[in-house]
């Protein structure tokens, strides 16, 4: 009987995933914490295994991800949406320029709509004119 073995622990980059497979011969790699701070890691691993390079997420990608998640919490009427926003704030804002300022404005309000608006304003300022089109064209 063949039992598949899944490698897990401290995989934070496509290089880590490749090294784990190379060193252990495991059948698959499982990712925990990095899925929250870098949800693009799965796509990056696929890119890395196909072409040996991968695309880093930028502030614009982070903005779209946070915006979508926060808007979903509001639109789906998630109980205690502000609490959920705060819970994930540290993970989602990881790597964002001026991230401490962003976290502060998420922690300061207890109103979900207000937090989502503040987050949008923060990124509009950070990204300059770039987000106007993104925000207008985004589906959520
Ligand atoms: C939010 C979160 C929830 C988790 N829940 C469980 C769980 O219910 N049972 C479990 O055995 N491990 C759980 N883990 C541990 C992960 O499965 C994994 O073993 C651990 O995070 C190490 O991998 P990582 O370095 O990629 O995070 C959880 C990890 C995270 C980040």
On whether the pTM is more than 0.75, the answer is: yes
Q: Residue by residue, what is the 3-state secondary structure of 64-93?
A: HHHHHHHHHHHHCCCCCHHHHHHHHHHHHC
The predicted-structure confidence for 55-75, as pLDDT tens digits, reads as follows 999 999 999 999 999 999 999
Residue 131 near ligand 1, beta carbon < 6 Å: no
Tell which one of 29, 30, 32 to mutate to probe ligand 1, the residue whose CB is within 8 A of the most ligand atoms. Answer: 32
Alpha carbon of 69 to ligand 1 centroid (Å): 21
Residue 33 near ligand 1, beta carbon < 6 Å: yes
The predicted-structure confidence for 35-57, as pLDDT tens digits, reads as follows 988 999 999 999 999 999 999 99
Determine contact, residues 69/39, Cβ cutoff 8 Å. no
Rounded to whole angstroms, how far apart are CA atoms 36 and 12? 11
Q: What mean pLDDT is predicted for residues 89-105?
A: 90
Tell which one of 30, 33, 84, 91 to mutate to probe ligand 1, the residue whose CB is within 8 A of the most ligand atoms. Answer: 33
């Amino acid at each position: 009987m063949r039992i598949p073995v899944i490698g897990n622990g401290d995989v934070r980059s496509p290089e880590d995933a490749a090294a784990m497979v190379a060193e252990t011969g495991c059948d698959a790699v499982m990712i925990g914490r990095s899925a929250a701070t870098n949800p693009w890691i799965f796509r990056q691993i696929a890119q890395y295994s196909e072409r040996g390079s991968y695309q880093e997420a930028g502030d614009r990608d982070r903005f779209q991800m946070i915006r979508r998640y926060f808007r979903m919490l509001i639109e789906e009427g998630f109980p205690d949406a502000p609490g959920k926003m705060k819970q994930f704030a540290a993970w989602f804002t990881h790597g964002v320029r001026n991230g401490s300022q962003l976290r502060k404005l998420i922690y300061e309000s207890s109103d979900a709509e207000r937090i989502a608006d503040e987050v949008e304003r923060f990124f509009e300022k950070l990204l300059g004119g770039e987000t106007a089109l993104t925000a207008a064209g985004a589906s959520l």
